[in-house]
A and B are shown apart, each in its own frame.
Chain A
Amino acid sequence: MADWQIDLIKVVFIWVWALLIAVVMTWVERRASAMMQDRLGPNRAGPFGLLQPLADGIKLFTKEDIIPERARKILFILGPPLFALPAFSAYAVVPFGDKIVLGGKEIILQVSDVNIGFLYVLALGAIGVYGMVIGGWASNSKYSILGGLRATAQLISYEVPMGLALLTIVLLYGTFSLREIVLQQQGTFLGFLPNWGFFKQPLGFIIFMVAAYAEANRVPFDLPECESELVTGYHTEYGSMRLGLYLFGEYVNMGTLAAITVSLFFGGWGLPYVDMSRFLGPVSYGIASFFVFFLKQAFFLFLFVWVRWTVPRFRYDQLMGLGWKALIPLGLINLFITALLVQLTT
């Protein structure tokens, strides 16, 4: 088993895993929203409707692929992949588990431990915006252009508070690499609290979560694709699998953001008070750590769905107002205070 083969397996595994999360998420979204709204949700395709995402996928595949009149053809085709691929590639730096010993070789459960870590994720988030804007502009419809316009303003202006919140994490742990940050979050802090970023940086966590909802276009911030005003915004003119790619990209984006939240603020794969490596074998420990990570990520994915079916939508200028007038000043103050504290304590 040469090194590159192991990496290939890891890449394929995380690619399939991201797809699986996105597929299951469509089902979770429809069932959870049904349960919250006193309905049943899909329960015909397979037990509890579990094959419904498969049915949706087939439906999207078989639909006719329409390119609207006088749309810019190349950009129209380029839009969806440009939106979906950055979301997939952001999984590369996600530490989805500790390490596993297989055939005498120690494998780190992370595709690549890049030392600039979540800066890479931020950069990919910015590229994702291009997918929306190009798709909106190329489909030659006023609603799409408005959707694309809103997408640019919203995502660019919410990258700033997200960056500020992440800067405070860098101040705390001194490194960008996600794996080191998760390693530093094991153990306890002030005696009883687990040594998580959430307890050290509550304000940073809130700013990051709000910015993450804006990044993923989830409800309070889903103006670029709201169906009541802009007839599903930038992907109005899209049809079969291109629309599928857009919707898929959205769920994969949610998965990435949930993974980043877990690894930065909730201690990645470690359980709070229990050090699993002591009483679990090397192989089972790797799988257990992966499982814990997935559980935490699942909770945050469910939170995305939960908030979506409870809260109304912002208006465009309130969205901007919240971003610039509330989150960025808060982020700066938070950065200043943490810098002060870190300077005094070390």
Chain B
Amino acid sequence: MGLLLLCLGIGWWLWKGVAAMEDPEFIIGPAAYYIINTAEETGAANIVAAILFDYRGIDTLGEASVIYTTVCGVAMLFSKSKYKRSSAGLSFIARRGVSFLVPFLLLYGSTIILMGHMTPGGGFQGGAVFATVTILLCIVFGSSFEMSRIKPKTKETIESLGGLFFVFLGGVGLLAGAGFLANTAAGFPRGQVGNFLSAGAIPLLNIAVGMKVGAGLSTIFYSMVRVLELEFGEQMSEVEGNDKN
């Protein structure tokens, strides 16, 4: 009861803070500038993508780094666990159905990544779709299958390369003297708005982020699932050296 009152008290103050403000009828601040000038300055049709990868590119690099941190962390936390068996997977029908679906899913993911500068979508969303593919494979075919096809080593390589590619693209701007992550100012071609080849470095950055997120999310899932199988499944034989103390 006290806790409820506590939360309501906080909520009351928050509400008063909102209620005191009046909303402007039109857009002010940098957003107004973005809406007017994005097409001309970056060549991207998707203004949100332009903000994410051009105006505020460093935020996106940070965001990618957050995922990277988590991936590293989860891998680190479970690095000392040993595991022996994987789940058996699902039935034949499910396997066939999924293997039929997978190419389309991959295509869908790539579309989202590559068209990120024109339509809603982008590296994060597409990367998430790629991660879904691996998760699906893991569920349907059992965890060892996915591991045998795409090795953890490959995933980590892809992820690191994605990060480095992002930094490299940013570094081009730095070398051109236009600031880190500069886009058209650094000489990337602007192209025609709405074309596939447009918006300078934004598609490339999308690809970099897509690599990173796809590999990263699937690594997180995979690290967790193989431990969970151990933890909550029937087999509890494995002993962790650190748990003794």
A, B in one complex: no
User: Taking beta carbons and an 8 Å cutoff, which residues of A are in contact with B?
Assistant: none
User: Taking beta carbons and an 8 Å cutoff, which residues of B are in contact with A?
Assistant: none
